[in-house]
Amino acid sequence: MTVESVKPAQPAAPQLPVPPLAGGGVPVLGHGWKLVRDPLGFLVRLRDHGDVVRLKLGPKTVYALTSPALTGAMALSTDFKIDGPLWESLEGLLGKEGVATANGPRHRRQRRTIQPAFRLDVIPEYGPIMEEEARALAERMGSGEPVDCTSESFRVAVRIAARCLLRGEFMDERAERLSVALATVFRGMYRRMVIPAGP
């Protein structure tokens, strides 16, 4: 007796081309050293290799999207999931519950929770806080002392977000502490992403 399948054979899935590997990686660190030395320059030069480029960060392979259209399509896709070894190595710092880090139903639930803070009728209430922070920044910049624009921009953005979204007593002092703490976390997070060590 012979048995034949009544289902037609499924055609093999086409093999997708492997994205090109960015140049300049070194043993052990991969491209991490370039990301530490000149992050913006390195990322800008990745565009020369195509829309998707492979990078080695330590022992891990990651993919960089260099096309705004592709990045937008991926971010808006309902199938998009934040995952992989790099992300797992950062869970200790970021957690998995926040709106920026959660996936699927948890992300949608978190997003719905914070949406009222971004309604069009609420946004004008943030104007005076933004103006106050901008004036304080202008005063610091007008002192004649050198100003680190990157850290000052980060500080102002965090203070505005904290004061607008996390309203409460003593928020000015708390916003400053939050700004300092987040700067520390992000520095460590960036280093850990670029040169991952451990599991």
In this predicted model, what pLDDT tens digit does every residue of 105-138 receive, in sequence order?
Answer: 887 888 898 899 989 999 999 999 999 999 999 9
Residue 65 lies in a domain: yes
Residue 44 lies in a domain: yes
Same domain, 165 and 183: yes
Residue 9 lies in a domain: no
Same domain, 92 and 30: no
Residue 176 lies in a domain: yes
Q: Mean pLDDT throughout 71-93?
A: 72
Beta carbons within 10 angstroms of residue 157's beta carbon: 13
Coil, helix or strand at residue 75:
helix
Q: Tell me: pLDDT of 1 over 60.
A: no
pLDDT digits (tens, 9 = 90+) for 84-110: 666 666 666 667 777 777 777 887 888
Rounded Cα distance, 106 and 111, in Å: 9
Same domain, 123 and 189: yes
Q: For residue 129, what pLDDT is reported? A: 93
Same domain, 137 and 182: yes
Q: For residue 147, what pLDDT is reported? A: 84
More confident residue, 199 or 105: 105
Place of tokens 């500080």: 155
Q: Please tell me the pTM assigned to this model.
A: 0.61
Same domain, 131 and 156: yes
Q: For residue 96, what pLDDT is reported? A: 73
Q: For residue 108, what pLDDT is reported? A: 83
Same domain, 178 and 130: yes
What would the DSSP string read from start to end of 35-50? HHH-HHHHHHHHGGG-
Q: For residue 4, what pLDDT is reported? A: 46
Q: For residue 92, what pLDDT is reported? A: 67
Same domain, 131 and 164: yes
Rounded Cα distance, 193 and 93, in Å: 11
Same domain, 88 and 70: no
Q: Tell me: pLDDT of 168 over 90.
A: no
Residue 150 lies in a domain: yes
Residue 7 lies in a domain: no
Q: How many domains does the chain have?
A: 3
Q: For residue 9, what pLDDT is reported? A: 58
Among 160, 198, 196, CA closest to 178: 160
Q: What domain range is 92 assigned to?
A: 81-114
Residue 182 lies in a domain: yes
Same domain, 165 and 105: no
Rounded Cα distance, 70 and 121, in Å: 32
Q: For residue 199, what pLDDT is reported? A: 47
Same domain, 90 and 69: no
Structure tokens at 12: 């093999």
Residue 8 lies in a domain: no
pLDDT digits (tens, 9 = 90+) for 4-55: 444 555 666 677 789 999 998 888 888 888 888 888 899 999 999 999 999 9
More confident residue, 69 or 79: 69
